Structure 1
Amino acid sequence: MANLKTEFCGLEFKNPIVVASAETGNSLDNIKKCIDYGAGGVIIKTVGDIPEMQTLTNNSKYAILNDQGESIRGKVNRSFFFYSRSGYAKEHYTDWVPILCDAQAYAQKQGSHIIGNIASNTIEGWIKLAKVMNECGIQLVELNYQCPHPT
């Protein structure tokens, strides 16, 4: 079998497959499945401290769009875009701490990495959330500035 190990930000990944932040990273079971299927890393669903954004996931919108950005009804052509707009993890970030710690421990045993994903609208919030990731042993953190538009 080919050696797919790669180094990123000083961490060795068993392979370059990293699952993007999405609903696949919004629960411990989903994160474990990604790791069990061989992902070198999993970026968790965004956790943050903006209450309005936490409700967005419950009201997520999904659409299949054509090349002109119009909704497709009926048969989907070969060229399309899957658009979704969701918010944070459903749980408050403080409820995520045990999940994150369990996910990190599981990933470490499997030779994978958990990558944090945080968003806030204050400097203090960014610092607080980064510390939460660090307390769970998470060594890489994505700062989610563009979506869900936290500022």
Structure 2
Amino acid sequence: MAERPSPEEIILYGKDRRTKIATITFNRPEFLNAPTSMARLRYADVLRAANADNDVKVVVIRGVGDNLGSGADLPEFMEGNDNPAARLAELRLEDDGVGEVAYPPKGTFRNGATISSWYANSQAGNRALQDFKKISIVEAKGYCYGWHFY
């Protein structure tokens, strides 16, 4: 498995209490700002926090360098095909207190359907932006594959 930066290194967050503007920056320009699965969870957490934060009225989403983002770290995604624990972690089911969760076996429809719902995960990615109730500005530039704007 390849060494990847931490979610906090990939998803930068800052806010200016004076202007009430927060900035979420994807910081992985050497990979077109592709977030890892854990970085996508951090992105959603940061958006939910900004949504609740009275010191934030506007969120600006941008990428370092010439591209906003490529949607996902595909090599990591493919590694997850052989690692059910990685998929359960992304769904936040690895330690949810309900006991052992059996991931659908490889080659089954349920396994494929689980993988295909990757972008629809309500806890990660762009679903959090869709649910955001304040002003959001996306600095779209360069390569933006896999991004859906609401």
Question: Whose Rg is larger?
Answer: 1
TM-score normalised by L of structure 2: 0.33
Q: Which has the higher contact order (CA 8 A, sep 6+)?
A: 2
TM-score normalised by L of structure 1: 0.32
